[in-house]
A = this chain, B = another copy of it.
């Protein structure tokens, strides 16, 4: 475990659960507000009042805050959490958030609802959002939930448009060679596979 990358926190699992229960609704409610801010047709006065409310709320939450970004934490039981992550962070309204499930054989799977905030072409998921989610899921796949890996090369083939709504991702390890882990994955929606991805992930020396 590299101490520059992961911060040890002296909290029991129950205490981590309590923090998660405190902050999860903050992330969820904010995702709804982000969606509403994109779609509202409210007029000048109402929007100005909303901005004032948001600014006051931000100021009150900032009275006590950490320096910099969230990072990755772990406790004595080996539990780790990354609530600020751009793809999976439950406190981060930028993240859908994606939840990656790993099967016993190492294959990974995720189902994500992507609303108005993830739009690229009209009504469609932004191609870069597909890239973000695939990159993350493939990194998890490469790590097999135990070792740290970094993305080396990622190749994405865009096959079909991906309508906003429910999308499904599947990934698997396709091979290993020294410090390299080869992963393939796809993201699909109602119109079939939208993006096929191949990735080479690297196991850094210090993690072995």
- Give A contacts to B, CB under 8 Å: 4-7, 22-23, 25-27, 29-30, 32-34, 36-44, 46-48, 50-51, 53-55, 57-58, 60-66, 68-72, 83-87, 89, 91-94, 115-123, 126-129, 131-136, 139, 150-158, 164
Other than the given A42-B63, A127-B154, A131-B131, 11 more pairs (CB < 8 A) read A6-B122, A25-B48, A29-B58, A34-B93, A36-B61, A40-B61, A68-B116, A71-B123, A89-B119, A127-B139, A128-B136
Nearest B residue (CB) for A158 = B151
Q: Which residues on the B side are within 8 Å of A119 (C-beta)?
A: 69-71, 84-86, 89, 92
Specify how many copies of this chain sit in the oligomer: 2
A20–B25 CA distance with the chains assembled, in angstroms: 30
